[in-house]
Chain A
Amino acid sequence: MDERQKTVADKIADYLANNLRLPRENIDYDIPLFGDGIGLDSVDSLEIIAGMDQLFGVTLMGVNDGVFANIRTLSGYIVDHPDFKEQDK
Chain B
Amino acid sequence: MNDRVVITGLGLICAIGDNADECFDNALKGTVGIREVKSVEHSQCYTHIGAENNNFVTPEGEDRASSLCVKAAEEAVSDSDIDISADPERVSVIVGSCVGGAVSIEKFYRDYVADPEKASGADVLKMPISAIANNVALRFGAQGVVDNIANACAAGTMSIAIAADLIRSGKADVVLAGGSDPMSSLAYSGFHALHALDNEPCRPFNKSKGIALGEGAGILVVEAYEHAKARGAKIYCEVLGSGVSSDAHHITAPHPDGEGMQAAMERSIANSGISASDVDYINAHGTGTPLNDSSELGAMLRVFGNEGKVSCSTTKSMIGHCLGAAGSVEAVMCVKAIERGIVPPTAGYTDEDVAAMREKAGDFDFVPNKGKQRKVEYVQSNNYAFGGNNASIIYAKEGAPRKLAEATDEKIYITGLGIVSPLGNTAEAYAESVNSGAKAHECETCGDFTSVVDRADFDAVGMKLNFYRKLDKLSQMTCVSGKRALANAGIIVDENNAKKIGIVAGTSDGPQTDIGNFQKGIIASGTQSGSAFLFPNTVYNAAPGYLSITAGVKGYNVTCSNGAASGIAAAAFATRVLRTTQNDVILAIGADEDSETVHMLYEKTGAVGAGLKLGDGAVTLALERASSANARGAKKYAEVLGSGFAHCPVEFGKYGCADKLKEAIRLALEKSGVKAEDITTVMTCSNGLKSLETVEKEALTDFAKAKKVNVKEACGEGRAASSALAVAHAALMLSGDINDDAGEYVLAVSASAGGSYNAIVLKKA
A28 within 8 A of B: no
Contact A39 B466 (CB under 8 A): yes
Closest 4 CB pairs of A and B: A39-B466, A46-B532, A47-B533, A21-B469
Contacts A43-B194, A43-B252, A43-B536 given; indicate if A50 touches B466 (C-beta within 8 A): no
A residues 41-76 touching B (CB-CB < 8 Å): 41-44, 46-47, 50, 54
Nearest chain A CB to B483 CB, angstrom units: 19
- A-B contacts, 19 of them at CB < 8 A, read A19-B533, A21-B533, A23-B465, A38-B465, A38-B466, A39-B464, A39-B465, A41-B466, A42-B253, A43-B251, A43-B252, A43-B470, A43-B533, A43-B536, A44-B533, A46-B193, A46-B532, A47-B533, A50-B531
Asked if A20 is at the interface (CB within 8 A of a chain B CB), the reply is yes
Query: With a CB–CB cut-off of 8 A, which chain B residues contact A44?
Result: 532-533
A47 to B470, CA, bound (A): 12
Please tell me the number of chain A residues within 8 Å of chain B, measured between CB atoms: 17
| Shortest distance from the beta carbon of B649 to any chain A beta carbon, whole Å | 41
What is the CA–CA distance of A31 and B532 in the complex, to the nearest angstrom?
22
B 227-255 binary contact with A (CB < 8 Å = 1; else 0) = 00000000000000000000000011100
12 further A-B contacts with Cβ under 8 Å, apart from A21-B533, A44-B532, are A19-B533, A22-B469, A38-B465, A41-B466, A43-B470, A43-B532, A46-B193, A46-B194, A46-B532, A46-B533, A50-B531, A54-B525
* Across-interface contacts of B465 in A (CB, < 8 A): 22-23, 26, 38-39
Interface centre among B194, B525, B531 (most CB of A within 10 A): B531
Tell me if B199 is interfacial: C-beta within 8 Å of chain A: no
B473 to chain A, nearest CB (A): 11
Cβ contact of B531, chosen from A26, A39, A42, A47, cutoff 8 A: A47
Whole-angstrom distance between the alpha carbons of A43 and B469 in the complex? 13
Question: What does the 1/0 interface line of A9-29 toward B look like (CB < 8 Å)?
Answer: 000000000011111001000
CB distance B525 to A20 under 8 Å?
A: no
Contact among B251, B252, B466, B531 for A40, CB-based, below 8 A: B466
Identify the closest chain A residue to B528 (Cβ).
Answer: A50
Is the Cβ of B529 less than 8 Å from the Cβ of A20? no
Given A43-B532, A44-B533, CB of A50 within 8 Å of CB of B193 = yes
Q: How far is the CB of B45 from chain A (nearest CB, A)?
A: 12
CA gap between A26 and B465 in the complex, in Å: 10
- How far apart are A72's CB and chain B's nearest CB, in angstroms? 20
Interface residues of B (CB under 8 A from A): 193-195, 251-253, 464-466, 469-470, 525, 529, 531-533, 536
Do B532 and A50 touch (CB < 8 A)? yes
B469 — which chain A residues lie within 8 A by C-beta?
20-22
> In the complex, A32→B559 CA distance in Å?
36
Chain B residues with Cβ below 8 Å from A22 are 465, 469
Complex: chain A residue closest to B470, CB-CB: A21
Choose among A23, A38, A42, A43 the residue with the greatest number of B CB atoms under 10 Å from its CB: A43
B-side contacts of A46, CB under 8 Å: 193-195, 532-533
Chain B residues with Cβ under 8 A from A42's Cβ?
Answer: 253
The reply to whether A50 and B252 form a contact with Cβ atoms under 8 Å apart is no
CB contacts (< 8 Å) of B533 on chain A: these are 19-21, 43-44, 46-47
Residues of chain A contacted by B525 (CB below 8 angstroms): 54
How many whole Å from B248's CB to the nearest CB in chain A? 16
Chain A residues contacting B531 (CB-CB under 8 Å) are: 19, 47, 50
Shortest distance between the CB of B395 and any CB in chain A (Å):
35
* CB nearest neighbor in A for B196: A46
A47 CA to B535 CA in the complex, in Å? 11
Quote the shortest CB–CB distance from A13 to chain B (angstroms). 15
Q: What residues of A have a CB within 8 angstroms of the CB of B532 in the complex? A: 43-44, 46-47, 50
Contacts of A20 in B (CB 8 A): 469, 533
Shortest CB-to-CB span from A88 to chain B, Å, is 15
Nearest-neighbor residue (CB-CB) of A54 within chain B: B529
B458 → A minimal CB distance (Å): 12
Residues of the B chain whose Cβ atoms lie less than 8 Å from the Cβ of A54: 525, 529
Question: From residue A59, how far is it (CB to closest CB) to chain B in Å?
Answer: 12
Specify which chain A residues have a CB less than 8 angstroms from the CB of B252 in the assembled complex.
43
Q: Once bound together, how far apart are the Cα atoms of A33 and B71, in whole Å?
A: 49
Q: How far is the CA of A40 from the CA of B469 in the complex (A)?
A: 10
Q: How far is the CA of A33 from the CA of B529 in the complex (A)?
A: 22
CB distance from A8 to the nearest CB of B (A): 20
A19 to B470, CA, bound (A): 10
CA distance A87 to B607 in the complex (A): 44
Please give the distance in Å from B253's CB to the nearest CB on chain A.
8
A42 and chain B: residue at smallest CB distance: B253
Residue numbers in B under 8 Å from A50 (CB-CB): 193, 529, 531-532
**Distance between Cα atoms of A41 and B185 in the complex (Å):** 25
Give min CB distance, A20 to chain B, whole Å. 6
Interface centre among B251, B464, B465, B525 (most CB of A within 10 A): B465
B251 contacts across to A, CB distance below 8 A: 43
Q: State the CA gap A22–B465 with chains docked (Å).
A: 8
Chain B contacts for A23, CB-based, 8 A: 465
Name the CB-closest residue of A to B532: A46
Q: Which chain B residues border A19 with CB–CB below 8 Å? A: 531, 533
Complex CA distance for A43 and B533, rounded to whole angstroms: 6
Chain A residues within an 8 Å CB radius of B193:
46-47, 50
How far is it, in angstroms, between the C-alpha of A44 and the C-alpha of B525 when the chains are bound? 19
Query: Closest residue of chain A to B521, judged by CB?
Result: A19
A68–B194 Cα distance when bound, in Å, is 18
Residue in B closest to A49 when the chains form the complex, CB atoms: B532
**Residue of B251, B252, B253, B532 with most partner-chain A CB within 10 A:** B532
CB distance from B388 to the nearest CB of A (A): 14
Q: List, in ascending order, chain A residues with CB within 8 A of B253's CB.
A: 42
**From residue B301, how far is it (CB to closest CB) to chain A in Å?**
26
Q: Quote the shortest CB–CB distance from B255 to chain A (angstroms).
A: 15
